[in-house]
Amino acid sequence: MCATCGCGTVDSVHGHEGGLPHDHSHDHSTHTHKVVDVEKDILQQNNLLAERNRGYFEAKNILALNLVSSPGSGKTALLEKTLTDLKGQLEFAVIEGDQQTTNDADRIHATGTKVIQINTGKGCHLDAHMVLHAVQGIKPKQNSVLFIENVGNLVCPALFDLGERERVVIVSVTEGEDKPLKYPDMFHSSTLCIINKTDLLPYLPFNIEKLISNAKKVNPKLEIIELSCTQGTGLNLWYDWLKSKVPVPEPVE
Ligand SMILES: Nc1nc2c(ncn2[C@@H]2O[C@H](COP(=O)(O)OP(=O)(O)O)[C@@H](O)[C@H]2O)c(=O)[nH]1
Ligand SMILES: [Mg+2]
């Protein structure tokens, strides 16, 4: 599936489904070990860089949030609303991750916010190294909020720490109640779950309580906010959450 992280290397039904290129003539047990080693190595390197990013964010008192979801759940829509509604109240910068196009960066730019786009090509997630470079380019201000919109994917981004303070998973009501059970890593590693598109609830056979119960099964501490980006319902809860996380500026001596 993924050309860079090698995720999905061992499939319980098919034996293997490597993201890394391989030769079918060899012993599969050895192959599995090699791929696992490479994956471990990549993740270790990533974790070191993630700690470096985290140190930078802490030193500059920057609240870095990693926004993750399936494609189309409303990450960019939520950012557009937030950046517009909280303009002048908080200082923001945005890193946009997508395989191709600058569409999302263009949408964020239209709000007047500093933004940088990372195109991952075949890669299905952002990693700490990409974020390090993006941060060097965008230079977020002291005491600001840095949103990192990850590539739309509920699987691979769960593996890659970017150095963020917290991870926010967005799920929309059109995606089904079972997603936390199918993609537990993402819900387990997040601190906040935003349930978006609640304006569509009257038209869908969707049980929001069931989604919440499934999410809590995976992560009992997960905070939940229900909202609709298009109608604006519940956005205040998200803004309150965000403001409660913003670092208090260090007193000037
Ligand atoms: N009905 C409805 N549609 C929404 C809402 N939020 C986003 N959308 C739509 O969902 C689609 C995908 O949104 P986008 O922000 O691009 O999702 P992303 O891929 O997660 O960044 C767009 O057509 C949005 O207009 C919402 O609260 N309600
Ligand atoms: Mg987007």
Q: In this structure, which residue's CA is closest to atom 2 in ligand 1?
A: 197
DSSP E strands, the chain: 63-69, 92-98, 114-119, 145-149, 166-172, 192-196, 223-226
Q: Which atom of ligand 1 approaches the CA of 70 most closely? A: 20
Q: In this structure, which residue's CA is closest to atom 14 in ligand 1?
A: 74
Contact 194, 227 (CB under 8 A): yes
Among residues 178, 143, 90, the alpha carbon closest in space to that of 250 is found at 143
Query: Which residues does ligand 1 sit against, CB inside 6 Å?
Result: 69, 71-77, 152, 196-197, 199-200, 228-230
pTM for the predicted model, two decimal places? 0.88
CATH architecture for the domain at 39-245: 3-Layer(aba) Sandwich (3.40)
pLDDT per residue rounded down to tens, the chain (253 residues): 465 566 543 333 333 333 333 333 445 455 666 667 777 788 999 999 999 999 999 999 999 999 999 999 999 999 999 999 999 999 999 999 999 999 999 999 999 999 999 999 999 999 999 999 999 999 999 999 999 999 999 999 999 999 999 999 999 999 999 999 999 999 999 999 999 999 999 999 999 999 999 999 999 999 999 999 999 999 999 999 999 999 666 665 6
Cα-to-centroid distance, 37 and ligand 2 (Å) = 32
Contact 130, 118 (CB under 8 A): yes
Q: In this structure, which residue's CA is closest to atom 8 in ligand 1?
A: 74
- The domain spans of the chain are 39-245
Nearest ligand to residue 73 Cα: 1
